[in-house]
Structure 1
Amino acid sequence: MKLLRWGPTGHEKPGVLGSDGQRRDLSMLLSDIGPAQLSPRTLAALALLDVDKLPLVPLSERYGTPFGGTGKIVCVGLNYADHAAEAGLALPPEPVLFLKPSSAICGPYDDVIIPRGSRKTDWEIELGVVIGSTARDVTEKQALAHVAGYTIVNDISEREFQLERSGQWDKGKGCDTFAPIGPWLVTADEIADPQDLTLWLEVNGQRVQNSSTRQLAFGIAALVSYISRFMTLQPGDVISTGTPPGVGLGQKPEPWYLKVGDRMSLGIQGLGLQEQRCVAASDPLMPHV
């Protein structure tokens, strides 16, 4: 099942993708798709619906994030060995964790703001793991039972803010619109192996990232278990599992970064596509969930 949300920013309605690839309206059955609707019980009930009989969502309606109410985005740094190498860093012995604020979240086709004073805004396609039930200090064997599904995250990063302005990474990771999520939440039963998915990203039509989640250094179950030792994972939380090589910081012969007017396209096998246009901080846009 591919869950989604649609409509104006701040007024999204729940939906689901039909077998014909068209969006269907769930708003007569659900008030929203959020933490309460991501429970195994609710997802099992939704799976029984004949979604193709639901009303169509007008094609003109905006795609929002596929679920709301995210409390935190837990990001994993340097989780692909070849990405660590392009950054000139060793693969860490344990997962590197940092947080992205929920205020960074935007829809999969919303504009991305280049922050005021930015010179090094960068792209990062990542597999997002969406939590469906509370996970607190769980084992790897238990971990996947707490996963509602999977989605695409573009972990936008401002490298100067992140690496050259002292302190933690968060200041380069948390700007508004730095976490496009969606277009769908694909429930876990539809993804046979989340660690065997191709993923790619293009900037202005040039493919810069092209890899597979087979290259993850720390797998999904290991990450859910590990993170749950240090913080409680709650329904609606997202784990952004790391990016493969090909980010702007690692481009050869020298790094290059996003600028106003650039367009990103990105996708993960089975999880759909995203597209974003880069705009100046003063430009109008629809940034939030």
Structure 2
Amino acid sequence: MRYYRLTDGRTSRLAAGDDDAVYDVTNARSEVASFRDLVRTASAIGEDIDSVTERILTDAERIDLSKESVGAPVIASEIWAAGVTYKISEEARQAESAMPDVYRRVYEGERPEIFFKATPSRTVGPNEAVGVRSDSDWDVPEPELAVVLYRGEIVGYTIGNDVSSRSIEGENPLYLPQAKVYDRCCSIGPCIASTNSIPDPHDVTITMQIRRDGEIAFDESTSTSQMIHECSELASYYTRSNPVPELAVLLTGTSLVPEEEFTLSEGDEVDIEIDEIGTLHNSVVSV
């Protein structure tokens, strides 16, 4: 099952469904106004979120999702990310960096790179604009499978766009926070797919297309089977010795990297599609 956050001014509602139909969960149960409410309820009674939702949907009205405003599917207290989990990411980081050995050692090491990415105020949802830094001259979108964690446990998956400055990170690895954390640096959406919907997160296709002035500037696909660490392993390192919030999102690494001569520009359009989740669409602005 997939879960959507419908927005209307200052209020939001939870919707759920599959390829056949989507239903308004909140109108059927007013106390379940968000994905957070749903997972709290499921945790309290010891059931999975799909089982709880299926009972609610017997009283829910069907909606036309195309007529709704869909926001980021969850307001996560923190968004973190894993780095250099795909070979293509290791190669790209070595190419951009004056200290390439750092990234080889991360890729080959047992401990993954885990770093803080965004707060809710720095995160946008589907059909909103992601940002590129005004003091950077080489910027890229980074399409990633993202895990949604409730009290450190994986409860679903969404799509993440870890927008990054390659020029700043490449100048010095210690500049990573500035390359990664800034206004509109992250996008998630369009929904959360339950763990039942994606039984093997390490065997789904990720596609990214970038359009500029109506023309396709980039269009490639890959598979999460190329990821060197499993999602559960990445989540384990994120939660170690770390008091994690009730609800968090962890991006699992960059799966596709545009050619070195490419940089995002204001006005570009980015689409990231992942099997069983959907397509996350964002435009680009300078911040």
Give the TM-score range, shorter chain. Answer: 0.7 to 0.9
Distance 1:10 1:156 in 2: 27
Distance 2:273 2:239 in 1: 28
Displacement after TM superposition at 1:32 (Å): 2.5
* Residue 278 of structure 1 pairs with residue 277 of structure 2: no
Q: TM-score, normalised by structure 1?
A: 0.82
Assess if the C-alpha contact under 8 Å between 1:152 and 1:182 holds in 2: yes
**Superposed CA offset, 1:188-229 (max 9, x none):** 111110111110111113444421111111101211222221
Give the AA of the match of 1:25.
Answer: D
Match of 2:88 among 64, 76, 82: 82
Change (3 A) 1:24 1:259: same
Structure 2 counterparts to residues 1-289 of structure 1, below 5 A = 1-8=1-8, 10-21=10-21, 23-28=22-27, 29=29, 30-39=31-40, 40-41=42-43, 43=49, 44-50=51-57, 53-57=60-64, 59-68=66-75, 70-88=76-94, 89-90=103-104, 91-93=107-109, 94-102=111-119, 103-132=121-150, 134-135=151-152, 146-164=153-171, 167-204=174-211, 205-245=216-256, 247-248=257-258, 251=259, 254-281=260-287
Gaps of 5+ in 2: 95-102
3-state SS of the aligned residue for 2:240?
Answer: helix
3-state SS of the aligned residue for 1:226?
Answer: helix
Distance 1:209 1:169 in 2: 26
Change (3 A) 1:52 1:110: farther
Displacement after TM superposition at 1:232 (Å): 3.2
Assess if the C-alpha contact under 8 Å between 2:143 and 2:162 holds in 1: yes
Change (3 A) 1:262 1:52: farther
Bigger mean CA offset, 272-281 vs 39-48: 39-48
Change (3 A) 1:113 1:52: farther
Gaps of 5+ in 1: 136-145, 282-289
Q: Which has the higher strand share?
A: 2
**Superposed CA offset, 1:15-41 (max 9, x none):** 1235524x4322221453243432443
Aligned residues: 263
| Other-structure match for 2:100 | none
3-state SS of the aligned residue for 1:224?
Answer: helix
3-state SS of the aligned residue for 2:196?
Answer: helix
**Superposed CA offset, 1:73-117 (max 9, x none):** 121000012321232241240201110121221112211233333
Change (3 A) 1:32 1:57: farther
Q: Which has the higher helix share?
A: 2
**Superposed CA offset, 1:103-151 (max 9, x none):** 221112211233333322211000100012x23xxxxxxxxxx211000
Q: TM-score, normalised by structure 2?
A: 0.82
Displacement after TM superposition at 1:255 (Å): 2.6
3-state SS of the aligned residue for 1:182?
Answer: strand
Change (3 A) 1:113 1:49: same
- Give the fraction of aligned pairs with identical amino acids, expressed as a percent: 24
